[in-house]
Amino acid sequence: TMGLKSILFVMALLLSGAAAAIKTYFNETAYLPCQFINSQNISLDELVVFWQNQEKLVVYELYQGKEKFDNVDPKYKNRNISFDEENWTLRLHNVEIKDQGDYQCFIHHKGPKGLVPSHKMFPPTKLLVIANFSQPEIMEGSNSSSKSYRNLTCSSIQGYPQPEEMYFLLTTENSTIKYSTTMQKSQDNITELYNVSISWSYSGFHDTTNRSIICVLCVSEMCLFSKPYDI
């Protein structure tokens, strides 16, 4: 069975001809459907089943019931990929950010006259890969040169896609004020995951009013909150 965390079928066909979108978490398993209805109960021994990506590269091929690698693109030959015969679904394990894109399933029937196209999944499946950022964390910088202010940095790591916004919220007894600063971003060359941070010099420490600061990170219409930094 497909776990809700491993794969979320979040959209069906919203528009005619639009690809169905699947969201899968980084380093987990993507389930790429074929949507083939085997009404004639044809044996896999008579079929050639394969998937292509948006670049028309063969991701996987099952030739008359056996895996065949002659046509599989080199970058997929060493990947952990398996076929679910019961659901006619391709399982792409240990998903990476670079796996994002469109995937299409094809089935040919091998008969006396050779291979005959029997099924082409349309529209293709659009795979979206996400990675949860860590909970934002506020830290006080060691380079604060005056007791009248403090340098605060908030950071969050190992997430995808790129966040839309990151900011501080200062809460007092009577108000909540948003402070936006420039977000610093870095992306790992291998995993393509993002690390992000913002900094702020807060000068209101001389005020004896109870107040609290939290950091907010917003990505894909969802926001993460740090633990309160109490003053």
DSSP secondary structure, 103-162, as one string: EEEEEEEEETTEEEEEEE-SSPEEEEEEBPPPPPEEEE-TT---TT-EEEEEEEEEEBS-
- The 10s digit of each residue's pLDDT in 81-111 is 999 999 999 999 999 999 999 999 999 998 8
Residue 226 confidence (pLDDT): 98
- The 10s digit of each residue's pLDDT in 25-72 is 999 999 999 999 888 889 999 999 999 999 999 999 999 999 999 999
The residue ranges of every structural domain in the chain are 7-130, 137-230
Residue type (1 letter), 17: G
Give me the mean pLDDT over the 111-128 stretch.
91
* Identical fold, 7-130 and 137-230: yes
How far apart (Å, rounded) are the C-alpha atoms in residues 9 and 27? 17
Distance, C-alpha 150 to centroid of its chain:
36
Residue 61 confidence (pLDDT): 97
CATH superfamily of 7-130: Immunoglobulins (2.60.40.10)
Q: Which residues pair with 179 in a beta bridge?
A: 168
How far apart (Å, rounded) are the C-alpha atoms in residues 87 and 110? 21
* Position with higher pLDDT, 97 vs 202: 97
How far apart (Å, rounded) are the C-alpha atoms in residues 137 and 31? 34
Of 2.60.40.10, 3.40.50.2300, 2.130.10.10, 3.40.640.10, which CATH number belongs to 137-230?
A: 2.60.40.10
3-state secondary structure 61-102: EEECCEECCCCECHHHHCCCEEEECCCCEEEECCCCHHHCEE
* Position with higher pLDDT, 203 vs 119: 119
- The 10s digit of each residue's pLDDT in 141-177 is 766 555 667 889 999 999 999 999 999 999 988 889 9
Token digits for 62?
A: 């099952």
